[in-house]
């Protein structure tokens, strides 16, 4: 029996969370759930976007499932605070094309590993006389552990190359450090190819020759931007899952936000959340159930009938979820 902390959040967060809980219910694994609050709804109720109780629950769970939150400018970002509080330093964002989904590249399978605790999201901002500054923090410790994580991930998942993405030509000290540490770590992995690219060039290569990349490791903001670009390559944010991994905790969430433009309409694509749930199952070493759930979704996408509008269908979130459950039961 696993205890999962569930943080549905705002907007489409609770809709896609509901889909994830329904498919988890079809598996041969027992879960107990603790629901916790975060986001703008939490702010309105409790005066904070991320109550201490949520952090406490998340810390002691076997794993955390997070929907999405609305971040109102001026309020503390719940997800960034949670990533930092649990030291979830590695953000894994796969970019994978699925058959049946319109994609610029049909056989794409790469992964972006984003440093999750510092960079431009360090949260250190201040007003100046004529504007404001934000501090972009790059440390040896964080650069080392994220590079090591990327090489270990590549080894474990039988990939062959890691590309560091940075802007060391301009940010000589900070990204210069990131790049140097990356190559130092690479020396311990002689069987894995290591190279690097500037982030602006990488943004273009992702569009022109993404097949040449296998695993990208990069700093916080660059990873955030490139992973949305990656999602765009393979069918959109409705299909992009992610894992946030630390030494003691794992938090799984779709890459997308709270989708205010589609919230409440029951048309959000549950795939990103369900693929995040697949990543959660793998984190718990429930490989067989993870495989089955992923395949149920793959089948539904391949058939392309009972899918949500972003995938060209005219079905509701609930219909697509029912179809995934039906496939899952037939695979068992
Ligand atoms: P968004 O990801 O919510 O939406 C971007 C576009 O993608 C919208 O057109 C939306 O309809 C579409 N989309 C997103 N998820 C979808 C799904 N499952 N199915 C179909 N279409 C989907 O990003 P946006 O609009 O920039 O931000 C909205 C709010 O979410 C903001 O308050 C932002 O701060 C927050 N946000 C929260 C994140 C999180 O909780 N981790 C991540 C990104 C944004
Ligand atoms: Mg983002």
Structural domain spans, the chain: 1-88+249-332, 92-236
Q: How far apart are CA 316 and CA 324, in angstroms?
A: 13
Q: How far apart are CA 106 and CA 102, in angstroms?
A: 8
Closest residue by CA, ligand 1 atom 27: 257
Ligand 2 centroid distance, CA of 319 (Å): 27
- Tokens encoding 271: 């795939």
Closest residue by CA, ligand 1 atom 22: 238
Ligand 2 centroid distance, CA of 220 (Å): 10
pTM, whole model, 2 decimals?
A: 0.95
71 lines ligand 1 (CB under 6 A): yes
Model confidence band, residue 81 (pLDDT cutoffs 50, 70, 90): very high
137 phi/psi in degrees, rounded to 5: -100, 125
- Given this chain, do its domains 1-88+249-332 and 92-236 carry the same CATH topology? yes
Nearest to 214 by CA among 230, 232, 236, 198: 230
268 lines ligand 1 (CB under 6 A): yes
Q: How far apart are CA 131 and CA 35, in angstroms?
A: 40
Give residue-wise pLDDT tens across range 223-257. Answer: 999 999 999 999 999 999 999 999 999 999 999 99
Ligand 1 centroid distance, CA of 327 (Å): 28
Ligand 2 ion: residues within 5 Å (CB): 224
**pLDDT on residue 332:** 79
For domain 1-88+249-332, which CATH number applies: 3.30.70.890, 1.10.3720.10, 2.60.200.20, 3.40.718.10? 3.40.718.10
The ligand 1 atom at the shortest distance from the C-alpha of residue 70 is 32
User: For residues 120 and 134, is the Cβ–Cβ distance under 8 A?
Assistant: yes
Among all residues, which ones are annotated catalytic? 121, 167, 200, 224, 228
The ligand 1 atom at the shortest distance from the C-alpha of residue 260 is 28
Q: Which fold has domain 92-236?
A: Isopropylmalate Dehydrogenase (3.40.718)
Distances (CA, A) of 149 to 5, 63, 132, 169, 175: 24, 19, 34, 24, 18
**pLDDT on residue 241:** 97
Q: How far apart are CA 328 and CA 296, in angstroms?
A: 5
**276 CB-near residues (< 8 Å, 6+ apart):** 20, 65, 241, 242, 243, 252, 253, 254
Q: What percent of the chain has pLDDT over 70?
A: 100
């Amino acid at each position: 029996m696993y205890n999962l902390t569930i943080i549905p959040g705002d907007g489409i967060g609770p809709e896609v969370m509901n889909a994830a809980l329904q498919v988890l219910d079809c598996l041969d694994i027992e879960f107990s759930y603790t629901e916790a609050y975060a986001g703008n709804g939490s702010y309105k109720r409790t005066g904070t976007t991320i109550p201490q109780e949520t952090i406490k629950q998340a810390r002691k769970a076997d794993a955390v499932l997070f929907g999405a939150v609305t971040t109102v400018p001026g309020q503390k970002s719940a997800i960034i605070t949670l990533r930092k509080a649990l030291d979830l330093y590695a953000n894994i964002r796969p970019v994978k094309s699925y058959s049946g989904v319109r994609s610029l590249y049909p056989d794409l399978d790469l992964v972006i590993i984003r440093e999750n605790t510092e960079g431009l999201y360090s949260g250190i901002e201040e007003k100046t006389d004529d504007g404001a500054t934000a501090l972009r923090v790059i440390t040896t410790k964080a650069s080392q552990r994220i590079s090591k994580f990327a090489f270990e991930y590549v080894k474990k998942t039988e990939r062959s190359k890691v590309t560091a993405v940075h802007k060391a030509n301009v940010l000589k000290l900070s990204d210069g450090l990131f790049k140097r540490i990356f190559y130092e770590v690479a020396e311990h992995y002689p069987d894995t190819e290591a190279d690097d690219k500037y982030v602006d060039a990488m943004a273009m290569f992702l569009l022109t020759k993404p097949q040449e990349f296998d695993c990208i490791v990069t700093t916080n903001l660059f990873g955030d931007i490139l992973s949305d670009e990656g999602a765009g390559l393979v069918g959109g944010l409705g299909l992009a899952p992610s894992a946030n991994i630390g030494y003691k905790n794992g938090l799984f969430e779709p890459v997308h936000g709270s989708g205010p433009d589609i919230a409440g309409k029951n048309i959000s694509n549950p795939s990103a959340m369900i693929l995040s749930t697949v990543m959660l199952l793998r984190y718990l070493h429930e490989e067989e159930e993870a495989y089955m759930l992923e395949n149920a979704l793959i089948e539904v996408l391949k058939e392309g009938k009972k899918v949500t509008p972003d995938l060209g269908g005219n079905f509701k979130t609930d219909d697509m979820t029912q179809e995934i459950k039906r496939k899952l039961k037939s695979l068992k």
